[in-house]
A = this chain, B = another copy of it.
Amino acid sequence: MAATVAEDYAALAERLREVTALSAIGGVLGWDEQVMMPAGAASSRAAQQSALAGVVFQLETVPELGALLAKLTTDGKTPLPALVDPLEAAVVRDAARGYRKRTALSKELAQREARLSSEGYQAWVAARKASDFAAFAPVLTQWLSLTKEKCAAIDPGKPVYDVALDAFERGMTSARLDEIFSQTRDGLVPLLAAVRSRGTAPDDSWLAGSFDVDKQAALCKSIAVDMGFDLERGRLDVSVHPFTGGAGPSDVRMTTRFKENDMFEGITGAIHETGHSLYEQGRLGGAFEGLPVSDALSMGVHESQSLLWERMVGLSRPFAAYLLPRLHAAFPGALPAEKTAEDLYAAINKVRESSLIRVEADELTYPLHVILRYELEAALLRGEIAVEDLPALWDAKMQEYLGVTPANAAQGVLQDVHWSAGALGYFPTYLLGAMMAVQVFQAAARALPTLDADIAAGRFGGLKTWLNEKLHSKGSLYPSADELMIAVTGEPLRPAVYLAHMKVREMRCLSDCADTCYSGQVFGAVQALMHLLK
């Protein structure tokens, strides 16, 4: 590229890296708040986060940044042709996108948003406690109005829901979501009906017991390290709500929690967060460290990495073979010696009781919880339904998709925190992540012929490196998850892949039953899916 373009690009990169460094500090503070901070520091910490956010926002919207971006783009959006390196072009594209979004909002609107976030949370907590939707409705009404105002300011030419969605799942549209989710819903509902009341539950009672949490923590740490988590560039701690955060690829902080009487809460959580962490640690470094192209593409893609490890790896037969001897080593004599890896595989895939609650749902019903929320929030933002009708519509959809009806608003429309914080457009990322996890894992399995044997032997390096190369290091190079999927798997996100996987799991379970004959005691992972909703 021309000398002056190179200089402008270097100046842009320096500004962006400064913002990244300051934002990363926010990540350390957020982690500290959850894991380390004494309770009495809450209000001074809020003042610190607020001061930092103010500084970051000021640097992100400073006119000098806009001037640089104007010089490096043809129209404030498209990088100059002289930026021939696609990664550098993506840096300019994403920096311009961020600048446009941030400068579109007035300070007054940003302050109103911050206030409503705080008030909305309080109102939601109280309304859920009282199971009183009417007490929460005004908050939701305000969020809908504020979101419309915000989206119109950012991109008046696009549907409101598309602009809202873009904050969490960039490049996704409601048209595309309608396509993906309707196919998924239409495939899952009959599948659910088919599996309902079939089969019997596998035995997982032998996994019950009391397990020292320090030993659980040591075991989970060793699993994370086996998976490839780099302790030189991260930490594993305990917090009330497990999360992955920290300050970028060289300082990834993940947390998990342990229950003395349920070791799989800790193990599953650790595998899930390690999936997120491997993405974070695998982000692009070198010349692109701290620049937007190295950022994770979207919430959905991030969730695909945690779910790939949690479900596709962690609930697999070979993983059970890897895990069983480690359980015996961690808790000598605590588990019956005669149990096999196949027993473990069955037990950890046992389907929980059918639930009205999203966070307690399992693999087969979870998508329908998400689709229900997507349909309702999109209809609200399009003005097709009214806030006051929401509880009745919620209950009707629950009955239609899942065959159950909530007894009250607390177990229904008020169960999730998201809307109270104005996170409209967030829910779809959960299901997109689950779908991408299947499609990406299948591509990995095609590329890595010894994957099953490797997993059984605890050799996760091949899979991790493949994900590093194909996905993690691509960051935000591609402008949407669909384009990333094409690059990684050869095709855009395809609901049929996900649905086929669900069906195959069921088919496999039936054939497994025929093949192995564990006297009705042992069931494969998705065999257990048949016992849903009893």
Spell out A's residues near B (CB within 8 Å): 17-18, 21-22, 24-25, 28-29, 32, 36-41, 43-45, 47-48, 50-52, 54-55, 230-235, 247-248, 250-251, 289-290
Can you report 12 A-B residue pairs in the complex whose CB atoms are below 8 A from each other?
A: A21-B47, A21-B51, A25-B29, A28-B32, A28-B48, A32-B32, A38-B231, A38-B232, A38-B251, A40-B250, A44-B248, A45-B251
In the complex, what distance in Å separates the CA atom of A251 from the CA atom of B29?
12
CB pair A38 B233 closer than 8 Å: yes
Of B22, B43, B233, B289, which contacts A41 at CB under 8 A? B233
Q: How many copies does the complex hold?
A: 2
Q: How far is the CA of A18 from the CA of B53 in the complex (A)?
A: 11
A452 CB to closest chain B CB (Å) equals: 32
Across the two chains, which residue of chain B brings its CB closest to A251?
B41
Least CB separation from A25: chain B residue: B48
Chain B residue nearest to A237 in the complex (CB): B36
CB distance from A295 to the nearest CB of B (A): 15
Chain B residues near A51 (CB-CB < 8 A): 18, 21-22, 25
Q: How far is the CA of A36 from the CA of B251 in the complex (A)?
A: 10
Q: Are A230 and B40 in contact (CB under 8 A)?
A: yes
B contact residues around A18 at 8 Å (CB) = 51, 54
Task: Give chain B residues whose Cβ lies under 8 Å from the Cβ of A52.
Answer: 21-22, 25
Contacts of A21 in B (CB 8 A): 44, 47-48, 50-52
CB distance from A353 to the nearest CB of B (A): 39
Tell whether A247 pairs with B39 under 8 Å between CB atoms, given A28-B32, A51-B21.
Answer: no
CA distance A235 to B33 in the complex (A): 13
Select which of B22, B41, B50, B247 is within 8 A of A55 by beta carbon.
B22
* A17, closest chain B residue (CB): B47
Task: Give the chain B neighbours of A38 by CB distance below 8 A.
Answer: 231-235, 250-251
- A22 to B53 Cα, complex, angstroms: 10
With a cutoff of 8 Å between Cβ atoms, the chain B residues found around residue A22 in the complex are 48, 51-52, 55
Query: What B residues does A232 contact at CB under 8 A?
Result: 38-40
Cα of A270 to Cα of B325 in the assembled complex, Å: 43
For A22, give the chain B residue with the smallest CB separation: B51
- Pair B40/A24 contact, Cβ less than 8 Å: no
Question: Which residues of B have CB within 8 Å of A289?
Answer: 44
Q: Give the CA-CA distance A25 to B33 in the complex, in Å.
A: 12
- Residue from B29, B40, B251 within 8 A of A44 (CB atoms): B251
10 additional A-B pairs beyond A22-B48, A28-B32, A44-B248, beta carbons within 8 Å, are A18-B54, A21-B44, A21-B50, A22-B52, A24-B44, A38-B250, A40-B250, A44-B247, A45-B247, A48-B247
Chain B residues with CB under 8 Å of A47's CB are 17, 21, 290
Q: Top 3 nearest A-B pairs by Cβ distance?
A: A41-B251, A40-B233, A21-B51
Q: Which residues from chain B contact A48 at a C-beta distance below 8 Å?
A: 21-22, 24-25, 28, 247
For the complex, give the distance between the alpha carbons of A55 and B21 in Å.
11
How far apart sit A25 and B17, CA to CA, in the bound complex (Å)? Answer: 19
A128 to B54, CA, bound (A): 45
State the CA gap A115–B251 with chains docked (Å).
25
User: Complex: how many Å from CA A233 to CA B39?
Assistant: 7
> Within the assembled complex, what's the spacing in Å between the Cα atoms of A369 and B18?
43
Instruction: Give A50 to B248 CA distance when docked, in angstroms.
Output: 16
The answer to whether A250 and B28 touch across the interface, beta carbons within 8 angstroms, is: no
For residue A86, give the distance in angstroms from its CB to the closest CB of chain B.
25
Report chain B residues within 8 Å CB of A37. Answer: 251
Complex Cα distance, B43 from A234, in Å, reads 14
Q: How far is the CA of A400 from the CA of B395 in the complex (A)?
A: 90
Q: How far does the Cβ of A57 sit from chain B's closest Cβ, in whole Å? A: 12
Q: Is B50's CB under 8 angstroms from A247's CB? A: no
Of residues A37, A50, A230, which shows the largest number of chain B Cβ atoms within 10 Å of its Cβ? A37
Closest B residue by C-beta to A39: B232
Chain B residues with CB under 8 Å of A234's CB are 38
